[in-house]
Structure formats: structure tokens, C-alpha cells
């Protein structure tokens, strides 16, 4: 797709070539393990495009090309879940004896994986303050191999100074990997800021309908892609055809859904700002949120997710009465779909030096009418 077109136009066309499929608009679902060769010469030919369905197939190649274009990278690998993309990227660039710096506000399973699997394989794991910026240079050691970023941070939405961190990493030859799920490859472009590997969970905004398990990792250069792809092949990583197809379809409405997500979320966030039951709100849109000025500098918009820390006088039983009474906010461990959700967050169990008191709830605002959502909250919050 020509780079001269605007991103909205490119999203409609990237990753598809109807001429390859007899004029069919969308790349069809390709369920395959075995791929046949026309003759023995084709089997031995290193330029044969597809060899085995797990390694590459027409649909995975099309989706990976589309995401690479979206993120501005060289090429990508896909995997069965967002977290498998994270773990594959970490395995690809780490070995025993290495040191990794991971942002303290990372997605909790990333922390659990680092503390359990990475450390058991002899990797030294250290967590850093998401607001450290250029101060990361003081934590880089001779054996630091990877700096792992996530911005905005999971649940608390601290925005990292990615360019400052990347500058220090590059000066010392350290690989940078960033979880870019919040931005879905649209609101922020890590690779344009020098990040080496951008990782996303397509279960969130890429899929957009709460029915996909898919991960993707985009590499900035051929060399980094080769390392990433080799690790994925060796780990047996393989994404499902149906999830690839649904995520490719999700690309076509991604920009519109993200625009609507912020539009729908904003009045609900404003309502929470008026509530005395709330101790603190967490969203990059809010002045006073850690990294708000960086968000204004580097990001084009917000998505539909924010955090609420309720006043510490309310116990979990108080919060349960409120949550369980809501009609339009079921409890669910995800976000980025069409429906509103809430999820309690036990911050003390997976954050260093978390001292805040009170119950923390993450809100995902879906596509319902925001007046209905606010009315539901207004009616049931009295049960606190």
C-alpha cells in the first residue's frame, strides 16, 4: 500500500491482495498444516514461499505484513495469545547470565513470567520506575540485554518517556521491547521512536469483539526479525487461522473504534471526577497522571480504559455490593472489546512499593450509550 495515503485509507487496504484469491476481497481463512511441493526441486529450493503451515501460510503472512505496515516495522511474528508474543520476544533476546530491566507497571503476567521462568533460566530481573526516563542509564549494567517497556502502564497508566529510554539503550547496545497493546499500533508508534520490538495482544482492540486470542510482535530490522522468527519457530509458536482472520477484519474498523472508545470513555471519566467516593483516578488524559505531558507530546489519543482507586474507608465488601449490582458492567479480565467491563486490581501483589490504600478497579468503557453507563453507575454507587 502506498505510503502517500493517510493511515485511515491504508488500514482499509493493508495485508490484502484480491488478485491472489480470484478477486475475493478479504484473504480467506487458511487452515493448513501440510503444504505440498510441486516437485523435488521446489522442496530443496530455499526460495519456496510456504513450507509448513505452522511456520508460515498465506493468512499469517498477510496479517503479519499488515501489522508491520501499521507499526512501521520490517516484519512480524504471530502467536496464539498476546502473552505468548511477549514471552517469545523475551526468549528471543535473552540468555542465561543476562540482565533485564522491566517497567514496574507492566502487565502482571509479564512480571510473573519474569520472576518464575526467566529467573529459573538464569536471567537477572530488575524492575524500574515507569517515570525514570533518561535515568535508566544508571540501571544499565554490562550484562543488560533488554529493557522492557509498557506505556501507558497496566492499570495505573503511567506514560514512559520512550525516546529518552531508547536513547540510553541504544548508546549501550541494549535491545528495547515494548508492549504497545494500549495504542493498538495507532495511538503511538514505538518503532518510530527507536524501539526494536513492538508487541501487542490482538485480543484487545485489534480483534475488538472479545472473541480472539492472538499476539503479534513486530521487529524493526531484518536482523531482529530473523532472531524473533527463529525463536518462534523453535518454540512451536503458531496462531490459529480463525483468530488471524478475525483480527485482519478488525483492522478495517480499528481507527474508528479507537476514536469512539475515547469519545465514549470521556464523559464516564468526567462523572467519576465528581464523586467523593473516589480517592484517585488513573488515565493518561488527566492532568496530574504520571507522564501526562509526555502523553500529550507523543500520543494522538487515549483508548477506553482507566483506573479508579476508591476511598480507603470502603472495604472490599462495600465495593462488592456496588459492583455486583451494576447492570452494564460485568466483571471480566480483559478490555478493548465492544462491551463495558470492570476488573479489580490487587496492586500490592504485583507492584513494587505500592503504598496506596483502597480498592482499585479498572474500567473498560465499551460501545454502550455513555448516558446509560453513567445512569447505571449513579444508581448503584449509592450501595457503597
Q: Is the pLDDT of residue 97 over 80?
A: yes
Q: Which of 68, 54, 64 is nearest to 240 (CA)?
A: 54
Last residue of a domain, one of 219, 251, 283: 251
State whether 263 and 239 are in the same domain.
no
CATH number at residue 64: 3.40.640.10
What is the average pLDDT across 263-282?
97
40 domain residue, yes or no: yes
Cα–Cα distance measured from residue 310 to residue 316, given in angstroms and rounded to the nearest whole number:
10
54 is catalytic: yes
Whether 79 contacts 214, CB under 8 Å:
yes
189 is catalytic: no
30 domain residue, yes or no: yes
Most distant CA pair in the chain, distance: 74
4 is catalytic: no
Q: List the catalytic residue out of 111, 189, 204, 229.
A: 204
Least confident of 6-15, 155-164, 182-191, 193-202: 6-15
How far is residue 149 CA from its own chain's centroid?
11
Lookup result for grid cell 476514536: 259
Q: How many structural domains comprise the chain?
A: 2
State the helix-helix crossing angle for 58-71 and 241-251, rounded to 10 degrees.
40
State whether 294 and 243 are in the same domain.
no
How many CB atoms neighbour CB 13 within 10 A? Answer: 15
For 281, the domain range is 254-383
1 domain residue, yes or no: no
The more confident residue out of 49 and 85 is: 85
Summarize pLDDT for 58-92 with one digit per residue, the tens: 999 999 999 999 999 999 999 999 999 999 999 99
pTM confidence score? 0.93
Cα–Cα distance measured from residue 178 to residue 86, given in angstroms and rounded to the nearest whole number:
9
What is the pLDDT, as a whole number, of residue 48? 85
Q: How much of the chain exceeds pLDDT 70, in percent? A: 96
State whether 247 and 258 are in the same domain.
no
238 domain residue, yes or no: yes
Cross-sheet strand order for the sheet of 360-364: 278-282, 305-310, 360-364, 341-345
38 is catalytic: no
Q: Is the pLDDT of residue 4 over 80?
A: no
Q: Is the pLDDT of residue 12 over 90?
A: no
Residue 30: which pLDDT band, with cuts at 50, 70 and 90?
confident
What is the average pLDDT across 309-329?
96
Beta bridge partners of 306: 363
State whether 71 and 217 are in the same domain.
yes
Q: Is the pLDDT of residue 2 over 60?
A: no
Q: List the catalytic residue out of 7, 21, 51, 54.
A: 54
CATH number at residue 290: 3.90.1150.10
Residue 366: which pLDDT band, with cuts at 50, 70 and 90?
very high
Cα–Cα distance measured from residue 104 to residue 93, given in angstroms and rounded to the nearest whole number:
20
Last residue of a domain, one of 251, 281, 311: 251
Q: Is the pLDDT of residue 384 over 60?
A: yes
Cα–Cα distance measured from residue 357 to residue 55, given in angstroms and rounded to the nearest whole number:
48
Least confident of 20-34, 192-206, 219-233: 20-34
Q: List the catalytic residue out of 98, 104, 161, 179.
A: 179
What is the pLDDT, as a whole number, of residue 344? 96
Q: List the catalytic residue out of 98, 104, 107, 282.
A: 107
Cα–Cα distance measured from residue 305 to residue 282, given in angstroms and rounded to the nearest whole number:
9
2 domain residue, yes or no: no
What is the pLDDT, as a whole number, of residue 161? 98
Last residue of a domain, one of 184, 216, 251: 251
Average pLDDT, the chain: 94
Q: Is the pLDDT of residue 241 over 90?
A: yes
What is the pLDDT, as a whole number, of residue 50? 86
What is the pLDDT, as a whole number, of residue 51? 84
CB half-sphere exposure, 39, CA atoms < 13 A? 1
Amino acid at each position: 500500500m502506498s505510503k502517500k495515503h493517510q493511515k485511515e485509507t491504508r488500514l482499509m487496504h493493508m495485508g490484502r491482495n484480491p488478485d491472489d484469491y480470484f478477486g475475493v476481497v478479504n484473504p480467506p481463512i487458511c487452515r493448513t498444516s501440510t503444504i505440498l511441493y510441486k516437485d523435488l526441486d521446489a522442496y530443496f529450493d530455499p526460495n519456496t514461499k510456504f513450507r509448513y503451515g505452522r511456520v508460515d501460510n498465506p493468512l499469517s503472512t498477510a496479517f503479519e505484513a499488515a501489522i508491520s505496515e501499521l507499526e512501521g516495522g520490517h516484519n512480524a511474528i504471530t502467536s496464539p495469545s498476546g502473552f505468548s508474543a511477549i514471552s517469545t520476544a523475551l526468549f528471543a533476546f535473552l540468555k542465561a547470565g543476562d540482565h533485564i530491566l522491566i517497567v514496574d507497571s507492566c502487565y502482571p503476567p509479564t512480571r510473573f513470567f519474569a520472576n518464575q521462568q526467566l529467573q529459573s533460566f538464569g536471567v537477572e530481573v530488575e524492575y524500574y520506575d515507569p517515570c525514570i526516563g533518561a535515568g535508566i542509564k544508571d540501571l544499565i549494567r554490562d550484562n543488560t540485554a533488554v529493557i522492557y517497556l509498557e506505556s501507558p502502564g497496566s492499570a495505573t497508566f503511567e506514560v514512559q518517556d520512550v525516546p529518552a529510554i531508547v536513547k540510553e539503550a541504544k548508546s549501550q547496545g541494549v535491545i528495547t521491547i515494548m508492549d504497545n497493546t494500549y495504542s493498538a499500533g495507532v495511538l503511538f508508534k514505538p518503532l518510530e521512536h527507536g524501539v526494536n520490538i513492538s508487541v501487542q495482544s490482538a485480543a484487545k482492540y485489534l480483534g475488538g469483539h472479545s472473541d480472539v486470542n492472538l499476539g503479534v510482535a513486530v521487529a524493526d530490522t531484518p536482523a531482529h526479525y530473523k532472531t524473533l522468527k527463529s525463536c518462534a519457530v523453535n518454540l512451536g509458536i503458531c496462531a490459529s487461522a480463525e483468530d488471524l482472520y478475525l483480527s485482519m477484519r478488525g483492522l478495517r474498523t480499528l481507527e474508528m473504534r479507537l476514536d469512539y472508545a475515547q469519545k465514549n470513555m470521556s464523559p464516564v471519566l468526567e462523572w467519576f471526577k465528581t464523586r467523593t467516593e473516589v480517592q484517585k483516578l488513573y488515565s493518561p488524559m488527566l492532568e496530574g497522571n504520571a507522564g501526562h505531558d509526555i502523553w500529550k507530546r507523543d500520543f494522538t489519543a487515549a483508548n477506553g480504559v482507566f483506573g479508579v482507586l476508591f476511598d480507603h474507608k470502603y472495604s472490599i465488601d462495600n465495593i462488592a455490593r456496588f459492583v455486583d449490582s451494576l447492570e452494564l458492567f460485568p466483571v471480566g479480565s480483559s478490555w478493548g472489546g465492544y462491551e463495558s467491563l470492570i476488573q479489580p486490581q490487587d496492586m500490592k501483589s504485583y507492584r513494587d512499593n505500592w503504598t496506596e490504600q483502597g480498592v482499585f478497579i479498572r474500567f473498560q468503557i465499551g460501545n454502550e450509550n455513555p448516558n446509560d453507563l453513567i445512569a447505571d453507575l449513579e444508581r448503584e454507587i449509592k450501595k457503597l
